[in-house]
Structure 1
Amino acid sequence: MKHLFIPFLLFLSTSSTAYAQKEKLNIIVFIADDVSWDDLGCYGNAQVNTPNIDKLAKDGLKFDNFYLTASSCSPSRNSIITGRYPHNTGAAELHTTPPLDMVSFPELLRNNNYYSVLAGKFHMGPYARRGFDTMYEHHNENGDGGEESWVSSLKERPKNKPFFMWFASYDAHREWGPNKFSGTHQPNQLEPPFYLSNGDETKADLAKYYDEIKRFDFYIGEVVNELKTQKELDNTLIIIMSDNGRPFPHSKTRVNDRGMKTPFVMHWPNGIKNKDVTSKSLISAVDIAPTILTLAGIDSPVHFQGHSFDRLLTEPDLPFRNYLFAEHNWHDYEAHERMVRNKNYMYILNSRPMQPQNGPLDAVGSPSFKDLEILKDQGKLSAIQADVFMVPRPHEELYDYSRDPLQLLNVASLPEYAETLKSMRKILSEWMEETSDNIPENLTKDWYLKKAGLIKTEFHNVRGEMPGQKLNATKNNAKGAF
């Protein structure tokens, strides 16, 4: 009897393990390249065609106040994948990478029996490669938009493991070429944002941008269909987001909502029971890594600076953060800005006020920027359109969300806001000190002239001192104000 009982126990143990493994949460992160929070239909944009994302939002949970830590591709993605602020990753500037010993959340998933895949854009350095079993990172594998390996990744995965997929499109990064989605949006039917020109070239520019968002949306729909075919949709957490604002003047590389706020949609039928729900809670991109690990039943390491917002999936009205922090460092041009936001105010510290905020190189070289230059020469720019050419800029900016949700009126100099200014300044200063941020004198300088075209400066390919480098910020795990 004893000899029969032991195999029976082994059978139960094996069956239980297999069942638990099968029921383990699957995770897919769709991350767009250079797409603003308000350029999806579910966020109120009636001009763009995003039916698949809109449906996932309607059947899931949408966040209205989700902020990135940088409005610049690689610093933003490094921050997301490590759960750390850009200066604490050692890769605060564009096209720099964290140290090899810095652990990413995909690596922790992989170490806990997840099969992990990256398909699409990847520029996070060798440290992140440890997090993926399979990588499709070349254009010939991923196609023009970066999405063509997504469905095949799902089909070819081992079926005896939970999976994590980092599906990163090239859409909607410039340059924009013709593709099968070209012409989805007609320029003459579009109205550009008020801070851009209403000219024909800007409308055509915007139409091509929306066409690439449409392609991103289409392939998300294809992945959802494959999940349905495999009967995995209900047990898969889908996240849809972007790495920074649209590649137009006034957006990408800015630390305000036009640059830092990201669309963020979560869909998970087994875990998000309320449908068509919006959370107004303040959330930072550093909170993504600990949240994913919590939902996967894995403890977060001490070096994560974010906090899990898993409770919001069932109680979306709960308050979460009191403060959000973001930064802008070198991205083609010298820069050092820091931002803190609470429920009512946004404060920006600009340590390089003599630098105009034209945007990154791809925005400066765009037809939309040229249209603004034409208006400038004609003396027809509105005050907000002229903002990208302003020099010197304010050293401090303060915006009152109750009166100015679009951050158009800087109230830092108004007497009635003196105490608020002092308070927000103190909060940012304490965060910088606690997390070992600093303002180096020898920052990386402009690599290009601030006009259209790839005209290099004498400083091209020369790096200065990275923010936080002198203070050994990569070893500082302080979370800062929450």
Structure 2
Amino acid sequence: MITKNIIVRAFIVLINLTSISLFSQKATKPLNILLITADDLGYEAVNSFGRSIPDLTPNMVEFAKEGVQFTEAHTITPICVPSRAIMATGLYGVSSGMMGFIHMKKRVPTTMQVFQDNGYLTGILGKVDHSTPDPNFNWDFSKDFEDLGSGRSPQKYAEYTIEFLNRCKLEERPFYLMINSHDPHRIFHNPDGKKLEGAEEPSRLFSVDDVEIPGYLPKTDRVKLELSHYYNSVRRFDDTFGAVIEAFKNSGLYENTLIVVLSDNGSAFPFAKANCYVASTKTPFYVHYPRHMRKGLVDTEHMISEVDIFPTFLDATGIKIKNKLDGRSILPLLEGGKQRDRDFVIGEIDYKISGKATPIRSYGTKRFRYIFNPWAPTGYRYYNNNEGQINKDIEANHPEYIEYVNFFRHRVLEEFYDVQADPDGSNNLIGDPSFQKEIKKYRKALKKWMKSKNDPVFRMLKNIDKPEKMGEYIQSNFPSKMSLMTKEDQSKEIERRRRASARGLER
């Protein structure tokens, strides 16, 4: 005879089993992925690095307290398109062929394609062309420059984030979402100047009196003015970031989402973006990983880079691919663990947005940085779209800084910096007798890496004693950028330039 106690006990067991089942379902629910990027945000502008003016990035500071911060995170190729391709592929540019504003030489797995193939809803806000290395990929949800107030409207970013998350809930699907602000890219926010269509006012404005000039820039009034406008745009990025994070928290999906935040390269000033100095490659890098992380952890030991992002996402979600990647998962570091061979980062420049190829390579540790400029002996004058009016102002009004401009334009074949004593790269030690042992060691390490990746610049470094040959080597290994594109890609590039020119800026 079944007693009342037996029935009660059986009911309790059933409740417990149901609870365990529900907990198991919740625990094994697919992890969502959110990648947030700033556009040209120098690490020195972020408050948590301790080198910035107060109250510039309050939302990023609060986010860092909730997650994990890496103080030695770097981009590999500090130019928008190739940098974002590395994030998407887990491959160096020399491995994927994405060595500038060109598409990959071969089809390799990309983050968005892999996640879409595994049932994830894929979405992107901003920088769509620049962040999609495979032109044949179609995002499930996509909003770009014009939809987002010229990529500078925190409100629009929040609204479309909410729309995307609601769709994910409705379809009951995990997601991969990439949110790319167009801040603080030039054109900076000038309160007295022309406003980009739909761009919002930052929550705080900065004046020249607020400016802190980093050591890699000359101390002129023009620099102060441009920096004040840059800080306005930095603050607006922080506004966008805060609005997006708030939308996630309100959605109920925040605690099941792995979030990575970084910049695609350094600030849009001379000797930062589109170069291989510390100010070029070093980036703020924050991670929120609700399942496994030490809240408030600041990792100052390990050197990581954007090439590690894709493998980290794969590791966190348990998705497998056959292809070998250049990067490694950083998940063990999020709990305070250790990883070997995290003591150096590579820098790589090939094709910029316009002009001839100017190959640059660097090998950097927390102690020193070696830079190889094979284009320097060719007589080519270096230009890019991140100078603003700074160099022109120097040439017209500041003869005391003319050597600054000359070095920027021409460089030398090799550079070597003591990063601890001189993080801004003011004193080139390449000819200093007391550092020759270290220089030889770093040159050898870079050469070894280049050889392992079949880097076309390896031949140039191998023949460093023949500077007169560098132009010939570059010409044979770096044909015109357009010649590397398919006809379809050439048409897209021409159209991209037309749109950018019509807006008065190169994105």
- What is the TM-score normalised by the length of structure 2? 0.77
Quote the offset at 1:269 in angstroms.
Answer: 3.6
Q: Do structure 1's residue 379 and structure 2's residue 399 form an aligned pair?
A: yes
Distance 1:128 1:296, change over 3 A: farther
Contact kept? 1:326, 1:339, Cα under 8 Å: yes
Partner in structure 1 of residue 10 of structure 2? none
Q: How does 1:13-412 map to 2 (within 5 A)?
A: 19=25, 23-44=29-50, 45-47=52-54, 49-93=56-100, 95-99=101-105, 101-122=107-128, 123-125=130-132, 127=134, 130=137, 132-141=139-148, 143-145=150-152, 148=156, 149-159=160-170, 160-176=172-188, 177-178=194-195, 179-181=200-202, 184-315=205-336, 320-331=341-352, 332-334=354-356, 335-354=358-377, 360-364=383-387, 366-375=388-397, 378-381=398-401, 385-386=404-405, 388-389=407-408, 391=410, 393-412=411-430
| Percent identity (aligned) | 26
Quote the offset at 1:409 in angstroms.
Answer: 2.3
Distance 1:126 1:314, change over 3 A: closer
Q: Which runs of 5+ in 2 are unaligned?
A: 1-13, 189-193, 458-472, 486-507
Amino acid at match of 1:214: R
Aligned residues, how many? 437
Quote the offset at 1:435 in angstroms.
Answer: 0.9
Amino acid at match of 2:86: S
Distance 1:360 1:182, change over 3 A: farther
Distance 1:287 1:125, change over 3 A: closer
Q: Which has the higher helix share?
A: 2
Q: Do structure 1's residue 441 and structure 2's residue 474 form an aligned pair?
A: yes
* Whole-angstrom CA distance in 2 between matches of 1:198 and 1:411: 23
* Whole-angstrom CA distance in 2 between matches of 1:437 and 1:209: 35
Amino acid at match of 2:434: E
* Whole-angstrom CA distance in 2 between matches of 1:64 and 1:204: 28
1:361-391 deviation per Cα after TM superposition (whole angstroms, max 9, x unaligned): 3223x1333333345xx422286x4564463
Contact kept? 2:216, 2:426, Cα under 8 Å: no
Superposed CA RMSD in Å reads 3.2
Partner in structure 2 of residue 448 of structure 1? none
List, as ranges, runs of 4+ consecutive aligned residues in structure 1 with deviation greater than 6 Å.
15-18, 355-359
Q: Which runs of 5+ in 1 are unaligned?
A: 1-7, 446-458, 467-482
* Mean CA deviation greater in 409-418 or 78-87: 409-418
* Whole-angstrom CA distance in 1 between matches of 2:242 and 2:66: 14
Contact kept? 1:58, 1:277, Cα under 8 Å: no
Secondary structure, in 3 states, of the residue corresponding to 1:156? Answer: helix
Quote the offset at 1:32 in angstroms.
Answer: 0.9
Larger radius of gyration: 2
1:269-288 deviation per Cα after TM superposition (whole angstroms, max 9, x unaligned): 43223325233311121111
* Whole-angstrom CA distance in 2 between matches of 1:17 and 1:97: 44
Amino acid at match of 1:266: V
Contact kept? 1:253, 1:359, Cα under 8 Å: no
* Whole-angstrom CA distance in 2 between matches of 1:420 and 1:271: 39
Contact kept? 1:41, 1:49, Cα under 8 Å: yes
Distance 1:344 1:191, change over 3 A: closer
Contact kept? 2:69, 2:298, Cα under 8 Å: yes
